[in-house]
Amino acid sequence: MLDFIRHNARWLLGAFLLTLFSGFGQTFFISLFSEDIRSSYDLSDGQFGLLYMGATLCSAVMFLNVGFVADRFPIAAVSTVVLAALALACGTMAVSSSVWLLGVCLFCLRLFGQGMMLHVSQTAVGRWFDAERGRALSLTSMGLNLGESTLPTLVGVATLWVSWRYCWAAAAMFALLSIPFCFWLTRIPREPTVSTSKKPQAAIGKHWTRSEVIRDKLFWFACPGMFAPAFIITAVYFNHQHLVGIKGWPEGSFGPGFMVVSVTMVLSKLYAGSLIDRYGAIGLMWIYHLPLGLACLLLALGQSVVFVYLSMTLIGIGMGFASSMTGTVWPELYGTKHLGSILSLVVSGIVFSSACGSGLTGVLLDAGIGFESQLAFLAAFSLLSAVMMFVVSGRMRQRLLSTVENSPAE
């Protein structure tokens, strides 16, 4: 592992930083200011949830039409533009005073933070690495874990002394200062080492285009399971302050929980990366639904604050596997030539699912449906998703094995 990191430090660090700065557009970061935002703009839970959902849905639609740039332009150029746009969104968030401008800021944060920043990082790693793609994605995706483990604490301390808007100004400054360094790290592409493992590779057959993927039935059967984690995590993160209130837990109970998520995600990503490099990602697609479902069940039924840390541990395990799968399943199944366009389709679905996680839960809360009941439903849905993904992964693996057997010998 250390030799791998040392020999590929430039590319790993570049993708790691892009993933780290995506945190400014993630729900875990934005939700830290949810009470301040609702108070400043006089919004209810449902109103803010719908605004957040609308901004995220619009960003998903836009992302679907701009994700291809990662295929057509150098990674360094794309990352520079995305970082600059993210910095502008953070800066505008610091000075916004109207609801419509808040909506624009949320749209840009979701598009350039949650969407494009992760997309560029995953596309770059998926193209730069082959034999050790799982390990590379596991390492670079830890940038988001670093953000999840440090940003809530930093924001909590900062807001004791300054207004929440200064936190967004600081985020804008850090994003701008990172642009030259990220450009230098990513300006030279890496030539991938061809895999010699036993796992089947789509590249042995052909590299699918996005239009071909859209016509593939297996893709659509896999989508609900692949998109479910985004819905669940957004629902929990976005409403964690509400959950603390109805459970009667101490304020800030979820703060250490984010640290727990980060630690367990790092460990599970390392383990998932080694499994993916050895056996492939497709056969593991169903596993992460089980800990996510159990986490929702514990949050729904548990009354002690201990259940926060138990559930966040399970969320970390599930998300560690899920995040490792997102960038590895599709290159295995469809190849890497059109990976940017394919990933833009996938990430748009993930962003859409994330939007529904915030919007629908807020509407249901305003309608009188308790969040504990919603969590119980999500637990049942996760179990159903695990069963469905087990069946789908088996079909995908059969197709890839057939492709390998029918490919001409070189």
CB 172 within 8 A of CB 87: yes
Distances in Å between the Cα of 90 and the Cα atoms of 17, 96, 406 are: 17, 10, 51
CA-wise closest residue to 273 among 335, 321, 331: 321
CB 277 within 8 A of CB 134: yes
What digits encode the pLDDT tens for the residues 77-107? 999 999 999 999 999 999 988 899 999 999 9
CA–CA distance, 54 with 59 (Å, rounded to integer): 9
Q: In the chain, pLDDT over 90 holds for what percent of residues?
A: 23
409 band by pLDDT with thresholds 50, 70 and 90 = very low
* Residue 188 pLDDT greater than 60, yes or no: yes
Does the pTM exceed 0.85? Answer: no
* Residue 410 pLDDT greater than 60, yes or no: no
What digits encode the pLDDT tens for the residues 324-343? 777 778 877 887 777 778 87
CATH class of residue range 9-190+198-403: mainly alpha
> Any idea which of 86-100, 152-166, 271-285, 394-408 has the lowest mean pLDDT?
394-408
Distances in Å between the Cα of 30 and the Cα atoms of 24, 168, 306, 325 are: 7, 10, 25, 25
Which residues touch 49 (CB under 8 Å, ≥6 apart)? 238, 358, 359, 361, 362, 363, 365
192 band by pLDDT with thresholds 50, 70 and 90 = low
Average pLDDT over residues 383-393: 89
CA–CA distance, 7 with 405 (Å, rounded to integer): 34
198 band by pLDDT with thresholds 50, 70 and 90 = very low
The domain locations on the chain are 9-190+198-403
Count Cα neighbours of 288 within 13 Å in the Cβ-side half-sphere. Answer: 31
* Residue 43 pLDDT greater than 50, yes or no: yes
* Residue 64 pLDDT greater than 60, yes or no: yes
Quickly count: other Cβ atoms within 10 Å of residue 310's Cβ: 17
CB 350 within 8 A of CB 230: yes
User: Helix 254-279 vs helix 142-158: angle between axes, to the nearest 10 degrees?
Assistant: 170
* Residue 203 pLDDT greater than 70, yes or no: no
Angle at the Cα of 366 (from 298 to 255), degrees rounded to 5?
A: 45
- Beta strands (DSSP E) in 62-152 are none
CB 254 within 8 A of CB 240: yes
CA-wise closest residue to 244 among 298, 201, 299: 299
CA–CA distance, 45 with 240 (Å, rounded to integer): 12
* Residue 157 pLDDT greater than 50, yes or no: yes
Count Cα neighbours of 388 within 13 Å in the Cβ-side half-sphere. Answer: 18
114 band by pLDDT with thresholds 50, 70 and 90 = confident
Top mean-pLDDT range of 14-18, 26-30, 226-230? 14-18
What digits encode the pLDDT tens for the residues 224-275? 888 888 888 888 887 887 888 888 888 777 777 877 887 888 888 888 877 8
Residue with the bigger pLDDT between 178 and 341: it is 178
Residue with the bigger pLDDT between 251 and 378: it is 378
CB 343 within 8 A of CB 226: no
* Residue 354 pLDDT greater than 80, yes or no: no
CA-wise closest residue to 272 among 227, 314, 324, 313: 324
